[in-house]
Amino acid sequence: MMHLLHARWVAGKAHIVVPGLRQGVLLALCLLAGRPALVRAQAPADVASELTRYQQTAVPEKLFLHIDRPLYLSGETMWFKAYASDGATGLPLALSSVAYVEVLNVRNQPVLQGKVALKEAAGRGSFLLPASLPSGRYTVRAYTRWMQNFAPETYFHSTVTVVNTTTALSAAPAKDSAAVDAQFFPEGGRLVQGLRSKVGFKVTDRGGRGRAATGQVRNQRGEVVATFRTLQQGMGSFELTPASARDTYTAVVQPAGLPPLMRKLPAADEWGYVVRLEDSSPEQLTLTVSSPAGQPEILSLLTHGRRQAAAVGQATLANGQAVFTIRKALLPDGVAHLTVFNAARKPVAERLYFTPPRQPLALEARADKPQYTTREKVTVQLGATSQPASLSMAVYRLDSLNASPASTIDQYLALTADLKGTVENPGYYFTATGAEAAAAADNLMLTQGWSRFRWAEVLSPTAPALPFLPEPNGLVVRARLTQAGSGQPKPGIVTYLTAPGPTTTLSNTRSDANGLVQFEMPKILGPRELVMLTDPRQDSTSRLALISPYSTHYATALQPAFALVPRFQQDYAKRHLQAQLQQAYAGPNRHRYLLPPTDTLSFFGPPSETYYLDRYTRFKVMEEVLREYVPGVVVRIRKDGFHFMVVDEVNKTVLTENPMVLLDGVPVFNLNRIMKMDPLKIRKLEVVDSRYFHGAAIYDGVVSFSTYKGDLEGFQLDPQVLVQQYEGLQVQREFYAPRYDTPEAAQSRLPDLRNLLYWNPDITTSATASKPLSFYTGDQAGRYLVVLQGLGANGQAGSRRFVLEVKPAL
């Protein structure tokens, strides 16, 4: 459908107003043509609708982890809370029920992995860092199964520091990590001969941290054509007009205190588009598109953020230039993309602009006293929020070893999640004001902006291929069936998966054309043994292999270099002593778990008949047990051995095929083997006395044998059965902190040298009432940072930080 345009002349320029995609959204387009041009709005509207369609198909899911602190000792516990949100709207998104969390070393090798349950778009988890974990900087990343459909840069990433105090006590001098690099980014993507362009640049060290520098740009004749210097975090920009596509340009970069380096600038094109984004007024932006003079051309501008179109419009490129004027009020919070398309709907240039969230989740928190002594109660009063919100709070000690805190949830969702690489000091772009802050944000958009999707996929008439389905109901275990020897996939084979134990958790499915099978197993907690098999009467040549649920694709962001610092030897020794004492006196309390309620109901629900064999006279032969006590199962002996037939009480008939026979939830298709089992090992026998429809299979009843320990009691499975250890959803640890609410507890001689005083991932607030949170200080005086952050029900994110002072008791 075409958007209607209306134009009016103001000071010789045609201002065209285009109705946007949503009510109240308008984009003012300013044409610098000599006369008004007839412009169709069909093209940008088409692109916007295609973007909306793509967003609805490829729902952008985001994860954020609030990690309790930035630095740990080997052997300590890392705590975190996961928040899931819709990348388009910011609202809490309950699309996935499992988050995959990993701790990666500098070589992107996982040293810890865990599966965390998500409920109502939030989850909590922890990692016990091994005592042998080497000192270094590690990346914590998190994603869902659905997020694996997209680039690994879309996963959550954060850097933490781990110090192994055993090796830190003999720290060698830190190696020099001052080597630098420089990168250059033409505004809009390209340099074009004869067109003046802004070029952003960034100077970084080996770890990706910005370094101060000055420099010059010289052409192939050695003539200086531009000079530059860095502003915030090693970034800056300069102006350059390439004289010809044949000319080459070299930047001579002079980092502070280091030798200069030389870097080639991107080559200029003979023809193309150059954009220039300027803050033309407090209310407006001006986007100028330039191209070598030629025939007039219709260009389209789509303004979008979080994969949602904010506004669309068109203008005629005449005399080599077109100007779009954009109202800032129409831009979405966070990073907005301004994409220019030609008449063929091909994106020819893109520019990013950052708007700090206009209405973040306002969090009010204050301590009841300005100063505390050791072993004293602290009460933090949380104020009412503008809407119901899910929050988390950590309180940890600040000392010389602690690194800078990571970005908070509001900074991540609005800024760092939409930029490539690591954003240094993201809080600066939310709090700083003035011309220098605006220039710093603009340089950040120039040097670290990127698109999380490819326009070819967005504009394709076919839906994108998304092989990873979300997990809305719990863990999905995947495996592949192949032909033994050839490795060819085996489609159409019914496959069974179970986790032997007191509760029968059998699941089944049929393999697809690629031999892939997927099972929903929501009840698997902690380390379990999985058993996967096919019915040997129908298939005895399949090879089964579990597929790891963890992503094998990694982002390329650099980590800051790490080395133990000799001047911190006393700090390392102090931390080492604290860790040893805490482990000796509080160690048992570190391994308390919040065990969920046990679900004892088997997959088939309440059975028709249940027999606890200890209540009957015990027989030594299984056949006698069944014939004497289980009237619902008829035992028959044929040429190939034993067969069972279940009596269907509902239809008053006997089902003729063997039922599904289970031992601790594992299917047993050879009944001769179950009949040879010692019945004294069986605690319970259950029968479903009717035909049972289960996934891809239909059973003529179910006969389930349960041993005392749920471990098969030595029953030998067939060789082709796959038995493999599997880590299910994390069993949640309980955060422990001592209380000094009695004179006896306050006078205890047990040392309390905690660096993490408080961790609470399960705080909920409302718009009507405040909430107090209480904890106790330990035996260490010093400054403690309180970090509170969370996500509101309407998608607003917020954070709050303040410092507590703890003085020694007199």
CATH numeric code, 609-727: 2.170.130.10
Q: Which one, of 112, 118, 115, lies nearest residue 95 by Cα?
A: 118
- Give the per-residue pLDDT at 6: 29
Q: Find tokens 């690194």 and name the residue.
A: 403
- Give the per-residue pLDDT at 573: 85
Position 203 confidence tier, pLDDT thresholds 50, 70, 90? very high
Question: Between the CA atoms of 184, 189, 192 and 194, what dihedral angle is there, to the nearest 10 degrees?
Answer: -70
- Give the per-residue pLDDT at 770: 87
Residues 6+ positions from 630 with CB-CB distance below 8 Å: 609, 611, 685, 687
Does 61-172+559-591 match 609-727 in CATH topology? Answer: no
- Give the per-residue pLDDT at 5: 29
Strands (E) located in 296-423:
297-305, 308-317, 321-327, 334-341, 347-355, 365-367, 371-373, 377-382, 389-398
Average pLDDT estimate for 469-497: 93
Check whether 8 has a pLDDT greater than 70. no
Position 177 confidence tier, pLDDT thresholds 50, 70, 90? low
Position 568 confidence tier, pLDDT thresholds 50, 70, 90? confident
On the 0-12 / 13-18 / 19+ scale of CB atoms within 10 A, 447 is buried
Contact 60, 91 (CB under 8 A): no
Q: Helical H runs in 540-689?
A: 569-586, 622-629, 671-675
Contact 504, 665 (CB under 8 A): yes
- Give the per-residue pLDDT at 250: 97
Taking only the tens place, the pLDDT of each residue in 491-524 is 999 999 999 887 888 999 999 999 999 999 888 8
- Give the per-residue pLDDT at 45: 73
- Give the per-residue pLDDT at 10: 29
Check whether 579 has a pLDDT greater than 70. yes
- Give the per-residue pLDDT at 438: 93
Average pLDDT estimate for 592-615: 86
Position 23 confidence tier, pLDDT thresholds 50, 70, 90? very low
Position 27 confidence tier, pLDDT thresholds 50, 70, 90? very low
Position 462 confidence tier, pLDDT thresholds 50, 70, 90? confident
- Give the per-residue pLDDT at 174: 52
- Give the per-residue pLDDT at 168: 66
- Give the per-residue pLDDT at 175: 56
- What is the amino acid identity at position 254? Q
- Give the per-residue pLDDT at 778: 95
Which CATH architecture describes the domain 61-172+559-591? Answer: Sandwich (2.60)
Position 465 confidence tier, pLDDT thresholds 50, 70, 90? confident
Position 699 confidence tier, pLDDT thresholds 50, 70, 90? very high
Taking only the tens place, the pLDDT of each residue in 245-283 is 999 999 999 998 899 999 999 999 999 999 999 998 999
* pTM (whole model) above 0.85: yes
Q: Which two tokens stand for residue 342?
A: 């030609």
The overall average pLDDT reported for the chain is 88
- Give the per-residue pLDDT at 343: 87
Q: Domain residue spans in the chain? A: 61-172+559-591, 191-269, 476-547, 609-727
With a pLDDT cut of 70, the percent of the chain lying above it is 92
Return the minimum-mean-pLDDT range out of 118-122, 188-192, 407-411, 455-459: 455-459
- Give the per-residue pLDDT at 9: 28
Check whether 775 has a pLDDT greater than 50. yes
Average pLDDT estimate for 684-695: 94
Q: 3-class DSSP state for residue 56?
A: helix
Q: Which CATH class is domain 191-269?
A: mainly beta
Average pLDDT estimate for 369-377: 95
- Give the per-residue pLDDT at 170: 60
Position 776 confidence tier, pLDDT thresholds 50, 70, 90? very high
- Give the per-residue pLDDT at 39: 35
Return the minimum-mean-pLDDT range out of 3-17, 92-106, 543-557: 3-17
Taking only the tens place, the pLDDT of each residue in 651-684 is 889 999 999 999 999 999 999 999 999 999 999 9
Give the CA count within 13 Å in the CB-facing half-sphere of 62.
24
